[in-house]
Structures are given as C-alpha cells and as structure tokens.
Amino acid sequence: MCISLDQNFTVPKILEGRHNDFKIKIYPQASPNYWGNPHIWKMLLHSGFAHCRYVCKSRKRDPYSMVYAFFLAVTKNQTPNEIAQH
C-alpha cells in the first residue's frame, strides 16, 4: 500500500478515520507526540509519520476496528505539494 509522504512534514492536515466504535484523529505537529494507545504509536512510527499527535476514542478494545480506522485515516494523507495543487 502506498501512502503519500513528505519526509520534511509528514502530516500537513488533520486525518480522521472511524470504524464501528473506534475513532482516531491524527493532528499535524512540528515534533512528534506519541501519547496514548501503544499499538497506534507503533503503527505510526513504522509507517513513517513523525510530525503528528493522535487521539483515539473507543469503548471497546477491538483490534480489527482499530487497525481498520487507522488505515482509513492514514490513506487520506497528502503531501504539501498535492494539497497546493488542489
């Protein structure tokens, strides 16, 4: 799976994903702030997202919903170049 990623600013806009009860928002930030769910933290780190913080909301700990919501949010990422072209 290919994700649009700029190494200098990996998350230029707010990304949102949601599946069943699990909601995630990834906010742009100059320095990383990985605080919260350790699974999301590791997935962001291994995906190459370094300029962000995130918020997760869920009443259940369903891993399928968590991963699906994460991928729905991450696939919406665009580089600053792509945003400027629209």
Give the pLDDT confidence of 1-43 residue by residue, as tens digits: 788 888 888 999 999 999 999 999 999 998 888 888 889 999 9
Protein fold of 15-77: Ribosomal Protein S5; domain 2 (3.30.230)
Residue count of the chain: 86
Give the DSSP letter string of the chain. ------SS-S--S-EEEEETTEEEEEEE-SS-B--S-HHHHHHHHHHT--SEEEEEE-SS--HHHHHHHHHHHHTT---HHHHHH-
Give the pLDDT confidence of 73-84 residue by residue, as tens digits: 999 999 988 989
Is pLDDT of 86 > 90?
Answer: no
